[in-house]
Structure 1
Amino acid sequence: MAFALKGVAYVTGAGSGIGQYATYSLARQGVRSFALLDRNPVTQTVSELKKNYPGISIKEIELDVANEKAVNDSVEQTVKEFGRIDYALNNAGIGGALKTTDHIDKEDFERVLSVNTTGVWLCQRAQIRQMLKQEKLTDSYRSYRGSIVNTASMYGILGPSLNVPSTAYTTSKHAVVGLTRADAVAFGPRGIKINALCPGYVATPLVLSSMNKGSVMDDERVKVPIQRLATMEEIGDCVAFLHSEASSYVIGAAMVADGGFTIQ
């Protein structure tokens, strides 16, 4: 499916995983200007983009999303380079310890929230402030001043499995869904489209390395109705859809892509 995306994309957590493959999906759909942000190098992502899309423009920015000044500066740098931000993916996040409330330390709990929730809020706030200053890319009623997608999780809309006691992570992702809905109501009328993406289990390198038969992740895979994990490309394509005019009437959604896990 082609969405004919034009404009500038700002992607956090772009060095690997969902952020990396969302970047590839956006490029396949036509985006040619990227700000790629991560605490770690985005070398592989940049190399792949340049190999497949000659003439593409990329600005690499090292970013800790929990750092307010760094977030604001990153948006300013992006606008200075490209003039605007049309598609923002707030994807950077951490898993945290697999512990229930009675075992997790306050510092560990707050560290997860500082990245997964406050970090998303800081990025979204800076993006909204910029998008309010810019006009729509086209005159179409389906066009917006900007589109924001926040990576939540299926654990942003349900509790974790008993054998995956991810209390801090689940709390942080529920908050991302709430943030998305609150700001979608506030800024949809002002021309900014905001949605959340709630992936299920995704076949990232880290997950695949722990997929031995009888492992926790293998047990979780069996619970998925279609009996497999999502590919990173499939989740990346969901991001492209949410940024496209094909989803122009989708506002404040928590779009689930989980192979049917949450409907059981």
Structure 2
Amino acid sequence: MSFSLKGVAYITGAGSGIGQYTAYALARQGARSFALVDRNPSTRTISELKNISPDVSVREFELDVTNENAINDSIEKTVKEFGRLDYAVNNAGIGGSIKTSDQIAKCDFERVIAVNTTAVWLCQRAQIRQMLKQEKLTDSYRSYRGSIVNVASMYGLVAPPLNVPSTAYSTSKHAVIGLTKSDALAFAHRGIKINAIAPGYVMTPLVQEHMGKGEMIETERLKVPVHRYSEMEEIGDCIAFLHSDAASYMVGATLVADGGYTIV
């Protein structure tokens, strides 16, 4: 079944990394209306979207995803401009300190939870409230009022190894998967599809910043059965799939895209 994404997309963390390449993937599958959310300008993302299709329309929001009012306002303005909200990708996140619980400061732990978990909930709550107001995009039994994908992590499924003790990060991503399951159950019968993706190591700026020093990045690469890190476009393609009608019977699922890391 071929993908056909004709609705309005809302992506957090869209200025770089997975969010950026998710926007490209959705555009390649037909999406033409985008709300791009990031703390920094999404200039490069917008430029490439225009290269993919000159008729792409973009509304850019520079905001902190932990700001409840700013998130609610961005959803409202997205709908005012484009008429509805069909594909939401809650991707914005931070890595935090690579420390165990005895080493990490309370403020550092809480910051990771605020960005990676609470902000995802804030975004998803606003998205659900909007999606409940609108009808399905098409009359097909595969169609929904809206689709949400939360970006978790393979460390939302398993504990990080001892040489990468990202306690706060892992905790936050386990919570994202729990949130995904809970809201998927609550709103599936009301026409909203919610899933998560659990990427493995992806060559994002965040990964390179936190693991690009010393031997850690090479040590972890060799643990991946395919012996390479994912490219950002591979994760973007997976997210596009989850939003598509091809994934219409996937509800509350976590799609694992980790090169086999968690099967070992």
Q: CA deviation at 1:207?
A: 3.6
2:100–2:167 contact (8 Å) kept in structure 1 = yes
Residue equivalent to 1:175: 175
Residue equivalent to 2:40: 40
Q: CA deviation at 1:114?
A: 0.4
1:200-235 C-alpha deviation (Å, 9 max, x unpaired): 0001245457557x6101100000001000110000
Residue equivalent to 1:200: 200
Residue equivalent to 1:68: 68
Structure 2 CA distance for partners of 1:115 and 1:187, relative to 1, 3 Å? same
1:163-199 C-alpha deviation (Å, 9 max, x unpaired): 1010000000000000000000000000000001000
Q: CA deviation at 1:50?
A: 1.1
Equivalents in 2 of 1:119, 1:206: separation in Å?
Answer: 18
Structure 2 CA distance for partners of 1:128 and 1:28, relative to 1, 3 Å? same
TM-score, length basis structure 1: 0.97
The letter of the residue matching 1:117 is T
Q: CA deviation at 1:4?
A: 1.0
Q: Look up the SS of the partner of 1:59 in the other structure.
A: strand
Aligned pairs (5 A) from 1:157-172: 157-172=157-172
Residue equivalent to 1:57: 57
Equivalents in 2 of 1:192, 1:216: separation in Å?
Answer: 40
Aligned pairs (5 A) from 1:124-135: 124-135=124-135
Residue equivalent to 2:26: 26
Residue equivalent to 1:6: 6
Aligned pairs (5 A) from 1:116-131: 116-131=116-131
Matched residues, percent identical? 71
1:224-258 C-alpha deviation (Å, 9 max, x unpaired): 00100011000000000000000000000111000
Structure 2 CA distance for partners of 1:211 and 1:109, relative to 1, 3 Å? closer
Equivalents in 1 of 2:223, 2:89: separation in Å?
Answer: 29
Aligned structure 1 segments of 4 or more residues deviating by more than 3 angstroms: 205-212
1:24-52 C-alpha deviation (Å, 9 max, x unpaired): 00000000000000001100000111122
Residue equivalent to 1:260: 260
2:28–2:52 contact (8 Å) kept in structure 1 = no
Q: Which moved more, 1:171-180 or 1:48-57?
A: 48-57
The letter of the residue matching 1:10 is Y
Cα RMSD, aligned residues only: 1.2
Residue equivalent to 2:139: 139
The letter of the residue matching 2:92 is A
The reply to whether residue 153 of structure 1 matches residue 153 of structure 2 is: yes
Equivalents in 1 of 2:159, 2:71: separation in Å?
Answer: 30
TM-score, length basis structure 2: 0.97
2:27–2:52 contact (8 Å) kept in structure 1 = no
2:200–2:257 contact (8 Å) kept in structure 1 = yes
